[in-house]
Structure 1
Amino acid sequence: MNFDRVQVEASAERLRECRRRIEASVPEVVNGWTPAEQAMADACRTPPEDIAGVVERLKLLQTILDTLPPSPAKNRVGQFNALYLTITERVAAHLLGSEVHDKKWLEVLDVEFARLYFTALSSWGVPGKDTPDAWEVLFRRAHTDTISTLEAAVLGVNAHINHDLSLALIETWKKMGYPGDGPQHPDYLLVNKIFYEEIPPLRRRFATAWQMEIDKCVGELDDWSQRVLVRTTRAMAWEQAERLWELQDDDDDYRRACMVMDRVAAIAGETLLRGTGIVRVLWLTVRATAAGVWHRLRGRRTPRQLEAARR
């Protein structure tokens, strides 16, 4: 086992300084969900137990977020919530069909995934509670119109996939067992298909007139690049979860690794605000850098690789 705690903490500090250098300014940060703090706390207090509960909770959150600044139905977290609700409804529909091999596993993953989002919402602005850096990038801009609704939605997707998804996989594996190359992995990849189908129309729904003109110029290239991005980042999330899985028996090392993952995702979020086309390359570069950090800090193989070696 090779996990250099000193180097991990040094990397986390460098990542924090890097974020400070590149983050875009926000006119006024509202720490919390004024004037709906109590409604938000009540909505997030008891986590749902199934995907139907997740859908209902997201609908409730949408009604709350749509009342918040900068104007009705324009809260920037609300823009992400609307996208997340659509994707979750599609996953719920697939659970009723025949494409899913292990429906219980995929539902547990969806619930654990949602719980992390609800926890982040409930922690924002509450004294003594830490909000993940990845979510803070979006939450700091919840009440402002200095970013577009499309950018807001993408910031939420970044935090959810590049931070929450690995942690949701860990919690699912704790409950259901580590699946390796079992039928659960194709079920995980099925969500990619849902993203492929939903992201283009959702992107165009949130886009400004200028962004729509760019969209027309690039044609299907933008859709293709986003499919690549979804496939790559979700694959990285699975691999990252495998590496975190090896650390779960050591609370200190696990915490340090999660801190690095969170700060890398936060930098990716800030980078996303720097442009459109080139940002996709930068996002992948940041994610690849994160993977490189893992490989440098830990010279161990993933559970899948270990299993293959035993064969």
Structure 2
Amino acid sequence: MNIKQATTIDEVIQLLDEIIEVSKLEQSAVGLFTMLYREVTVRIKEGIKDGSFQNGERMEKLDVIFANRYIRAYYEYKSKEKASECWEFSFQQAERFWPIVLQHLLLGINAHVNLDLGVASAEVSTAENITDLKSDFDQINIILSNLVVHVEKCLIKIWPTLTIILKLTGKIDNFFIDFSMKTARDGAWKFANEFVVTPEDQREVCIQARDKRIAEIARLVSNPGYFVSAVFKFIRLFERGDVAQKIINLQIIEEKQPECIVI
């Protein structure tokens, strides 16, 4: 299979759209994270246009490198080549029945932010100037952190019973979102600063070691313990629609209810 790669942010959006459409046809849960990631990319594009980032040219370069790591992993998995371990695990979970929408989103966030964002940040920087990226890196995390604010009200449209579940469980979903985002915020920048000073001939080993650690987090998200897993299975039984319909529902949220956009 030809591994497609983008050269501009518009091409990133186009390739993400292609993955979303294939996911709908194949009833693949890969499309859930991809649709949300598309919204992140659109917001970054808008931020570049309106001057929200300190260095728009550098940000587009970072966004393309960042996205291409996900796109490459997707096509590697589709062609039965070995993707990175954390992405391989995420894609495998997308083929299973029991993971709920929230878990699919967290698995994607975990792999893409905890691994890919650090690599991409280092690749647009040098050891001497990576601190100049910090402001724009934080701006990306402001976009990502909106997930905590918006995801609950939007997922209620897919899980009609979610309001009841939240009252009974003390907002378990917020715990998992906060856990994932805290890990991302604390880890991605630290890894970027470590990776940027890693000699070229040692970088692949460094990525592999990081990949294994992030895959361990993915397994925790997938299997969070008996009680939480039981709650998630109950939620799964009451999720509305097939995978394609869930993706469409999230797209309706994006187009018709901007206050509920999930990123």
Moved more, 86-95 or 196-205: 196-205
Q: CA RMSD in A?
A: 2.8
Alpha-carbon spacing, 1:232–1:151, altered in 2? closer, same or farther (3 Å):
closer
Between Structure 1 and Structure 2, the one with more helix by share is 2
Report SS of the residue matched to 2:146. Answer: helix
Quickly say closer, same or farther: Cα 1:275–1:103, change in 2 above 3 A. Answer: same
2:44 to 78, 91, 94: 91
Matched, 1:49 2:1: no
**Aligned-residue offset at 1:166:** 1.6
Aligned to 1:155: 107
Displacement after TM superposition at 1:232 (Å): 4.7
Q: Distance between the aligned counterparts of 1:103 and 1:135, measured in 2?
A: 28
Aligned counterpart for 2:20 among listed residues 62, 65, 68: 62
SS of the residue corresponding to residue 67 of structure 2 reads: helix
- Report SS of the residue matched to 1:84: helix
Q: Which of 245, 250, 261 is residue 210 of structure 2 equivalent to?
A: 261
Q: TM-score under structure 2 normalisation?
A: 0.74
How many percent identity over aligned positions? 22
Q: Determine if contact 2:106/2:177 at 8 Å carries over to the other structure.
A: no
The question of 1:201 aligning with 2:150 is answered yes
Asked if the contact 1:49–1:111 (Cα under 8 Å) also holds between the matched residues in 2, the reply is yes
Give 1:81 deviation, angstroms. 0.5
Indicate yes or no: 2:30 matched with 1:77: yes
Q: Does 1:133 align with 2:85?
A: yes
Deviation >6 Å, runs of 4+: 217-222
Structure-2 separation of matches of 1:179 and 1:224: 35
Structure 2 gaps, min length 5: 229-263
Matched residue, 1:213: 164
Q: Cα distance 1:126–1:63, how it changes in 2: closer, same or farther (>3 A)? A: closer
Query: What's 1:120 paired with?
Result: 73
Distance 1:56 1:189, change over 3 A: same
C-alpha deviation, 1:212, in angstroms: 3.8
Q: Deviations over 1:229-280 (max 9, x none)?
A: 525523421211221222233x2x333222211111111001012339x99x
Quote the Cα distance in structure 2 between the aligned partners of 1:87 and 1:224.
Answer: 22
Give the 3 Å change call, closer, same or farther, for CA 268–115 of structure 1 in structure 2.
same
Q: Aligned pair count?
A: 225
- The structure with the largest alpha-carbon Rg is 1
Which residue of 235, 241, 245 corresponds with 2:196?
245
For 2:102 and 2:53, locate their aligned partners in 1 and report how far apart those are by CA, in whole Å. Answer: 30
**Pairwise CA distance, 1:228:** 7.2
Q: Which residue of 2 aligns with 1:110?
A: 63
**SS of equivalent to 1:144:** coil
CA pair 258-230 structure 1, distance change in 2 beyond 3 A:
same
Partner Cα separation in structure 1 for residue 217 and residue 179 of structure 2: 16
Q: 1:213 deviation in Å?
A: 2.9
Q: Does 1:179 align with 2:179?
A: no
Note the C-alpha offset of 1:214. 3.8
Q: In the TM superposition, what is the alpha-carbon distance from 1:216 to its structure 2 partner?
A: 5.1
- Change in Cα spacing, 1:124 to 1:229, as seen in structure 2 (3 Å) is closer
For residues 144 and 195 of structure 1, the distance between their equivalents in structure 2, rounded to whole angstroms, comes to 26
Task: Kindly provide the CA deviation profile for residues 199-242 of structure 1, in whole angstroms up to 9, marking residues without a partner as x.
Answer: 43334434634544344568899659846752552342121122
Distance 1:78 1:107, change over 3 A: same
Q: CA deviation at 1:144?
A: 2.4
On the 8 A contact 2:62/2:124 being kept in 1, the answer is: yes
Give the Å deviation of 1:131: 0.9
